[in-house]
Amino acid sequence: MELNSIQPAAGAKHAKRRVGRGIGSGLGKTAGRGHKGQKSRSGGYHKVGFEGGQMPMQRRLPKRGFKSQLLKFNAEVTLGALDKLGAAEVDVLSLKQAGLIGELAKVVKVINTGKLTRAVKLTGIGATASAKAAIEAAGGSLA
């Protein structure tokens, strides 16, 4: 391969569509816009969700629900995931490095899903009541 022989893959490049440049181009006269009407005019189009003056769908339906932006800072880890991790001491940083929780997580809680077979010491991590009982039964502790 030489620098002067490098070229893009076949079909990767194609000519830009030039509209309104005469009958021979295949896109002369109306330039692919059809005849008359709002969509054929320059600058003429409607708002997103506009339904011709009828009450739009997003205003006809009731408002419902709320998603807190603070939830992105919360994360949960299962007992099974802690068992697979295989570390004797676990904190938020070690969970982030293992990829078990997201980078934004600040508050972490252990939930009782799966089995824990080894003793694990948790630092700066919360746990549900049943998860706490399972951790202590396996010889671990929460700090």
Q: pLDDT tens digits for 14-26?
A: 999 999 999 999 9
> What's the pTM?
0.55
pLDDT band at 79; cut points 50, 70, 90: very high
Q: Given this model, what pLDDT does residue 24 score? A: 94
Torsion of CA 108, 110, 111, 115, to 10 degrees: 150
Please compute the mean of the pLDDT values over residues 89-107 and round it to a whole number.
94
Topology annotation, domain 72-142: Ribosomal Protein L15; Chain: K; domain 2 (3.100.10)
84 CB-near residues (< 8 Å, 6+ apart): none
